[in-house]
Amino acid sequence: MPNLPLRLLSYIIMAYMLMAFAWWSLLLFTKNQDAFYAKRDLMKIGMVAEGRVKSDTEFEQTVDYQELAKKYQRQERMIFGEALMFVLTLLAGLWFINQGYQKEVKANQQRRNFLLSITHELKSPISSIRLVLETLLRRELPKEKANLLATSALRENERLHELVENLLLSAKLETAYQPHFEEINLAALLEDLMAKLADRHPEAVIALEKPDDFPMVKMDRQGIISMATNLLENAIKYADDRPEIEVRLFYDKNKVTMEFADNGPGISDKEKKRVFEKFYRIGSEETRKTKGTGLGLFIVQQVVKAHNGRIQVLDNQPKGTVFKIVIGN
């Protein structure tokens, strides 16, 4: 694990400091107690010599002794209070160090997963395109077969283009993303995206439910395209053999609501809190079968934020997930 020796060293130093402070606190308490006893005995001897007291009970009732005892008790409380504050401060420091370490481990794991996934995502279309081109160059193929290979290469090229666009967009979203708001026909835009995905994934059933009088809305066209594409592709990617996706549009008093419902395996409540993190993907990169970079839902959330909207992850019935997006007042 990263910086494990440094973490162990910090724990050792804190343990040493705790033991050292406990020792000095005990020593200070003992010295304070000895000083009190010495002053008490000296005061008692003086009072007895002067004939002011004749017994321990009379001595303990004198004003001088009671003031001495109160002073000792104040010093005792001060020692315990400072010791308690030091221990609490030390424990707080230990907690912050552990939290920082856990965040670093998680960030390193996410970066590792991203590198593994992006390497696979880039190599796969590049290898496919190269194989098609080499085949076309080395062999005389019938026109029909050549066209089929060319179509396959174009499809892989489009996939590579979308991957690069996602990478560029995710970098812009955190620094220089400036949404360009314009009047768009949201229903027609979604229908066009769904038709393209249906051509690429004929096994998927994709439907759009909307009111007949759905109006033009002011949004960032490219941002909405990226958001919807990522949600639809995720729904297809993680669904069973026959993906069923329903997109629902609602409009009420300048508020647009979009719901993307699928019939996939669903997302646990624990994972719902993390799926929008950059590079985060459910499961292990070594055993995961689905492709991806962990950028899709991060992009979705950032685009929604740029529209001053909010997004929720809900359970679909009887199974699957619903991403509910609300934009507007």
Q: Which of 85, 110, 135 is the last residue of a domain?
A: 110
- State the average pLDDT over residues 155-163: 78
Q: Which of 93, 110, 127 is the last residue of a domain?
A: 110
Question: How many whole angstroms separate alpha carbon 163 and alpha carbon 167?
Answer: 6
Q: For 96-110, 142-156, 243-257, which range has the lowest pLDDT when averaged over its residues?
A: 96-110
Per the model's pLDDT, the better-predicted residue between 189 and 54 turns out to be 189
pLDDT score recorded for residue 329: 67
pLDDT score recorded for residue 203: 86
143 lies in a domain?
no
Domain shared by 185 and 323, yes or no:
yes
Domains identified in the chain, total number: 2
Q: What value, to the nearest 5°, has the Cα angle with vertex 171 and ends 313 and 114?
A: 70
Q: In the chain, pLDDT over 90 holds for what percent of residues?
A: 19
- State the average pLDDT over residues 53-75: 86
Which amino acid, residue 232? Answer: L
* Helix 4-50 vs helix 63-138: crossing angle, to nearest 10: 180
282-309 pLDDT tens trace:
655 444 555 666 788 888 998 999 899 9
19-48 pLDDT tens trace:
887 888 888 888 888 888 898 888 888 888
Q: Determine the structural domain holding residue 76 and report its residue range.
A: 4-110
Question: How many whole angstroms separate alpha carbon 42 and alpha carbon 26?
Answer: 24
Question: How many whole angstroms separate alpha carbon 153 and alpha carbon 147?
Answer: 10
Mean pLDDT for the chain? 82
Strands (E), the chain: 181-184, 205-209, 217-220, 244-252, 255-261, 310-315, 321-327
- Residue 246's φ and ψ, nearest 5 degrees, are -125, 125
Q: Is the peptide bond before 211 cis (omega within 30 degrees of 0)?
A: no
DSSP state of 204: -
Task: Confirm if 278 and 238 have CB atoms less than 8 A apart.
Answer: no
Statement: residue 202 has pLDDT above 80: yes
Domain shared by 97 and 204, yes or no:
no
pTM over cut 0.85: no
Domain shared by 233 and 100, yes or no:
no
Tokens (6 digits) for 64: 């001088």
148 lies in a domain?
no
Question: How many whole angstroms separate alpha carbon 170 and alpha carbon 293?
Answer: 11
147 lies in a domain?
no
Statement: residue 213 has pLDDT above 90: no
9 lies in a domain?
yes
* Helix 296-306 vs helix 221-237: crossing angle, to nearest 10: 150
pLDDT score recorded for residue 289: 54
Per the model's pLDDT, the better-predicted residue between 240 and 149 turns out to be 149
Statement: residue 142 has pLDDT above 80: yes
- Residue 249: left (phi > 0), alpha (psi -120 to 50), or beta? beta
Bridge partners of 126? Answer: none
pLDDT score recorded for residue 324: 95
- State the average pLDDT over residues 97-126: 73
Question: How many whole angstroms separate alpha carbon 238 and alpha carbon 290?
Answer: 7
Q: Which of 88, 110, 132 is the last residue of a domain?
A: 110
pLDDT score recorded for residue 246: 93
120 lies in a domain?
no
pLDDT score recorded for residue 311: 93
Which amino acid, residue 175? Answer: T
149 lies in a domain?
no
- Residue 144's φ and ψ, nearest 5 degrees, are -65, -45
Per-residue exposure over 269-281, b if at least 16 CB sit within 10 Å of its own CB, e if not: eeeeeebbebbbb
Tokens 């909405």 correspond to: 224
229-257 pLDDT tens trace:
989 988 888 877 788 899 999 998 889 99
Tokens 């759905």 correspond to: 214
Q: What value, to the nearest 5°, has the Cα angle with vertex 288 and ends 197 and 164?
A: 50
pLDDT score recorded for residue 286: 47
Specify the DSSP element, H or E, that contains 148: helix 143-173
CA 112 → CA 107, 170, 287, distances in Å? Answer: 9, 17, 14
CATH number at residue 234: 3.30.565.10
Question: How many whole angstroms separate alpha carbon 243 and alpha carbon 205?
Answer: 6
Confidence of residue 177 (pLDDT cuts 50, 70, 90): confident
175 lies in a domain?
no
Domain shared by 100 and 218, yes or no:
no
